[in-house]
Copies of this chain bind each other. A is one copy, B any other.
């Protein structure tokens, strides 16, 4: 039920397929940045110079495309988490990372909407990037809890969701200030009181 891969010799992946995939990612990144994560997929296909069918073959649903586009960013975030964890005390690392997260929401602000879009639907199979993000925040949270400075009865990912919500909407021009302030509120809120 598993080992069905080396059955046949298996060909080398076709060059044009790889090229088209790259073109699609390139185009998607541009278009998402321009028009947000709700941009038309057909338009992306057009921008990439391929047919609609090709797009859907490579990325069956919108989420698959979104995920692929932002995989890099997710990876960078994950790596930043490691750096912070080494250089800072756990709670500070968590805070610093959340602030970085806010910043990312800003630059690739399609990403925020993307996050929302990703986890929509009835518990769909989480895209891999979502899992990566979850693992990252879970690790940071766990470290913080272990340090004893923090109590956390909430799913850590939910903290990110909260931040993303504030950061996503065009709301005021102060969205970033608000988001950064929210980070501090959250951090203060989860700090275990001496009491």
Contact = CB atoms under 8 A, between A and B. Distances in A.
Number of copies: 2
Report, nearest first, the 7 A-B pairs whose CB atoms are least far apart: A189-B189, A165-B165, A185-B189, A162-B162, A188-B189, A154-B181, A158-B178
Nearest to A174: B155
A170 interface: yes
Interface of A: 116, 119-123, 153-155, 158-159, 161-166, 169-172, 174, 178, 181-182, 184-191, 193
A13 to B, nearest CB: 36
A158 B170 contact: no
Contacts of A189: 184-190
Given A162-B162, A162-B166, 10 more contacts: A120-B170, A121-B170, A161-B169, A164-B165, A184-B189, A186-B189, A187-B189, A188-B193, A189-B189, A189-B190
Given A187-B189, A189-B187, A153 B166 contact: no
B172 A155 contact: yes
A128 B163 CA distance: 25
Contacts of A174: 155
Residue with the highest number of chain B CB atoms closer than 10 Å, among A122, A158, A170, A189? A158
Contact of A165 (B161, B178, B191, B193): B161
